[in-house]
Chains A and B, each alone.
Chain A
């Protein structure tokens, strides 16, 4: 919302306070400053002129020639605008003056007529944006007056943010009230006496529903629709409102002035009783913007003789609109329920300055003041006759006493407030209160909807004390410095994986049903009711597709072939493991390992990895694991394994199915693994089992066995380890050679006794025993002679 310094000054005397101090005050009171514009003249030597004569240009149709009195002289000036008549008071740029952006004005021949300068529009003087023609000044300004003396200088416009709980600050009066306490200056009174001289002819009612508590109106007769006065135009333009005509402008003026939205009807187009009700299903209303609106049972409407004439608080109807021909007015000033207005305005996407104010809650005692201010401003401009205001109000809002211990302030804020401060603030803010030694009792004023509980007033104290005046203290929490298992696991895993040269990625969670089908056709996807994008309206059931997508995109960007992993939730429509009534979500790790990896040394060829490399990454993360072959959609028919840790399934490892590798156009085998992180703990990541170091020399021998094709080499190692259990061992498979005839495994045994140096006989003995054990256990044969 925009506020103008000169306008605020109507309500609180801040004229002498400079802009920086005011900005600071606004911000500290909770009005975020989005922008500040200091108004400076962008023109020089502009004078006020009165148009004495207007006659056609002899050689041109699109301009007229005027005679303008500028005080000491009368000049002939050619003008292209047609929005004024003889007698108009206008700003004039005579030769040697400057308009917007230092544009120098001089005498100029326009098709054979010498023009002594120009008559200016608001835009040409950089006052505000207005393309309707010449700026018309008030009739009583004397020709020859220096324009800069009638146009405000050194005014300031702030665009401020008003928090949604503070509807009362959506006006100059509301902001001024807050400033009045800050600067300890009283709020000024701008209401005046009305002198009604006509009888009202319409009957007004607030209807039977509670959503319209007050419906008030005033009838005005014999008005002339014309431009509003200069001050109104200036102020409304500065706060960003389009200038229309006097009636519309003055209703807007009252809204920005005190926050009461008004609506003007052409009285002569109204018949019967004016009332308020909810619309009936299928009722329609042609609104001001010439749209035929389909109404529903939740829309609050104004009716004349029970026929809809306006959408309450949102937009008027076209049929009862004020036009150039309007002579008599009904001005409406009402109090509508917040939620009803919000529903209608959001539903129809009609968000106006009025609807926003109703939504946030306007002062429920301001309906009369609204009419009073309107008459007041209108009267400054033309002589009008008007009726007494008619007010139909239902219940009086009850004033509830809220009481709390003064200790609460210190307890919650950590500051001690003096009596003076407390009393001052409550008085300046217009809050009724009683103060005792121990307690504060207060009542919420009619304009505030955010002061219902003790904490609400405590907040007010904090704000007016100034957040930046608080002391800063630093409490220390549980003294355990314990990150918690969730974070510890995520962090340990991430650190391990990045150390293995994998890149961590973060991808969006939305996919199509087809994508979820690739790896997890057995899962039911969670669907978003109101998706951003219809093609991706499901939550992902697997992280694999995101990884493949990222890998593919990088290759397409001509980036390196790298390994990636992501740790995030996957979702399915099953029941949640721990909580009621929400979909299942499993905290998961997925990783992608391309077989061909770009070497980080740019002189080297890519390295080619197979599934053993992916398996090793798992071992480096989780220590001892077991792999059990399993068929799984999306994967190679053989290279697909459950991952078991301590006999419990924790995830899956496999190679992307050849068909998918082709359809994704990857040209590279891809290994993928996924881990259900809820099935492991950070302790599973600690793989350290210390063995003492033997001081004795090692014995080493390589053996080669002919084994069946379907033989698990790991069992060979396990068996040797079992046999040499009392030794320090390093046992590895160093060769797995296959030809048409046979498969041969090479095992290297490196062993040390903890108690002695083996003699040659003992070594031979061990060798023979190992061969015997393995041959008998697995029915395999040692390959002799190599």
Chain B
């Protein structure tokens, strides 16, 4: 009845598994032993010609054979893949101490980073960002800000002028934005104005002819000196950290009265000036045609100074040379 030796075929099947190097070969082997044209399929085709009894017996034998092959194939596949993956992963063992990718930083200029951070702090207190021209009139930069024409700040040794009559200049402070903004908007006003300012300074470790300031202005009913103090203390803690102390010492600016300088406690018990502030001088409100009862506070902070303090940057030139060795550190 049996025309082929199924055991022998099975043995050759087992033998063929030994040569398998890739899991995809199993499909071929399966086809060879179970698929169309295989010995099994040929034997199955012969079943029809057998007696019922033989058909049943031989059919069972063939089914048994097919099941054995399938099962073996299945378990072989599982084992094969398991050992294959183990070997594969064993060979994949790179030296993770290597850094193939060069350091790139955030790519945002550190001055922008600092300005965004400061703006965010004040935005959370309900301030909007305002801006104004960098090439300005002397009136907006000085007269409107209560700085009369004999004032030393107006000397050509400090200020870059754009004409012989000294009517136009490159703004020396972002306070000009206060004036522009108030001319165009009624109180209440809560603004911060980050931007470039210009001075007649040669570029050295601590001076640059171009630098950045952030001006702040709050004008509203009942704004007091206590509000100014609370606001700037909040800013300092948000920017420098909760453990940094502040102190306010009296100062003088033409456009604020009372005026103060804010100092922060630094390493080694040192106190460092970080911003100037004060209650807006009534003359400034008069110059922008606000009612005489208006009150508010203003402050100004140097962006380069904040960045230099926080990161220990030694030279202001670094901000403007844009050497990638500097840029990619932030």
Contact = CB atoms under 8 A, between A and B. Distances in A.
Interface of A: 27-30, 32, 163-166, 338-339, 342-343, 346, 411-415, 453, 455-456, 458-459, 462-463, 467-468, 470-484, 486-487, 491, 494, 498, 501-510, 526-532, 539, 550, 553-554, 557, 559-560, 562, 564, 568-569, 571, 576, 579, 581-583, 585, 598, 600-603
B206 interface: no
B244 interface: no
A165 B222 CA distance: 27
Nearest to B202: A532
B123 to A, nearest CB: 6
Contacts of B107: 498, 501-504
A506 B126 contact: no
B226 A483 contact: no
A415 B279 CA distance: 14
Contacts of B109: 503-506
A507 B194 CA distance: 16
B218 to A, nearest CB: 6
30 contacts: A32-B261, A163-B250, A342-B150, A411-B222, A412-B224, A412-B225, A455-B279, A458-B258, A462-B225, A467-B247, A470-B226, A472-B229, A473-B226, A473-B230, A481-B126, A482-B128, A487-B194, A503-B322, A503-B324, A508-B320, A509-B134, A528-B160, A529-B166, A530-B160, A539-B135, A557-B325, A560-B324, A568-B196, A585-B133, A598-B102
B145 interface: no
Given A473-B226, A477-B188, A478-B190, 12 more contacts: A28-B250, A30-B250, A32-B261, A473-B227, A478-B128, A484-B129, A502-B107, A509-B198, A510-B209, A553-B322, A557-B323, A557-B325
Interface string B154-167: 01100011111011
B256 to A, nearest CB: 9
B270 interface: no
Contacts of B143: none
B131 A486 contact: yes
B196 A569 contact: yes
A540 to B, nearest CB: 11
Contacts of A554: 322-324
Contacts of A163: 250-252
A531 B108 CA distance: 30
Interface stretch (B3-11, B73-81, B111-119): B111-119
Contact of A483 (B129, B133, B150, B155): B129
Which of B107, B136, B194, B200 is packed against the most chain A CB atoms within 10 Å? Answer: B107
A571 B107 CA distance: 26
B231 interface: yes
B229 A529 contact: no
A491 B202 CA distance: 30
B116 A491 contact: yes
B126 A479 contact: yes
A475 B223 contact: yes
B32 interface: no
* SS of A interface (majority): loop
Contacts of B250: 28-30, 163, 459, 462-463, 467
B315 interface: no
Nearest to A504: B109
A510 B201 CA distance: 13
Contacts of A484: 128-130
B145 to A, nearest CB: 15
Given A498-B107, A557-B323, A583 B135 contact: yes
Nearest to A164: B252
Contacts, number: 249
Given A413-B224, A506-B322, A507-B322, A582 B108 contact: no
A529 B161 contact: yes
B60 interface: no
A585 to B, nearest CB: 6
B258 A463 contact: yes
Contacts of A582: 133, 135-137, 168
Contacts of A568: 196
B302 to A, nearest CB: 14
Nearest to B160: A528
B314 to A, nearest CB: 17
Nearest to A479: B126
A503 B125 CA distance: 31
Contacts of B202: 532
Nearest to B153: A164
A467 B274 CA distance: 16
Nearest to B224: A414
A532 B204 CA distance: 13
B257 interface: yes
B210 A475 contact: no
B224 A411 contact: yes
A32 B249 contact: yes
A426 B127 CA distance: 38
Contacts of A479: 126
Nearest to A509: B210
Interface in B213-264: 218, 220, 222-227, 229-231, 233-234, 247-252, 257-261
Given A508-B209, A581-B167, A476 B104 contact: no
A474 B112 contact: no
Interface string B55-80: 00000000000000000000000000
Contacts of B152: 164, 342, 346
Contact of B295 (A411, A506, A507): A411
B311 interface: no
A411 B151 CA distance: 30
A529 B100 contact: no
B322 A468 contact: no
Interface string B165-188: 011101000000000000000001
A729 B204 CA distance: 59
Nearest to A480: B126
B231 A474 contact: yes
Nearest to A507: B320
A412 B123 contact: no
Given A487-B119, A505-B109, A582-B137, A560 B128 contact: no
B248 A530 contact: no
Contacts of B224: 411-414, 473
Nearest to A549: B322
Which of B188, B229, B323 is packed against the most chain A CB atoms within 10 Å? Answer: B229
Nearest to A529: B161
B226 A415 contact: yes
B290 interface: no
Contacts of B327: 503, 505
A498 B233 CA distance: 32
B129 A487 contact: yes
Given A502-B107, A503-B107, A532-B209, A470 B229 contact: yes
A532 B234 contact: no
Interface string B140-154: 000000000010100
Contact of B323 (A477, A508, A528, A559): A559
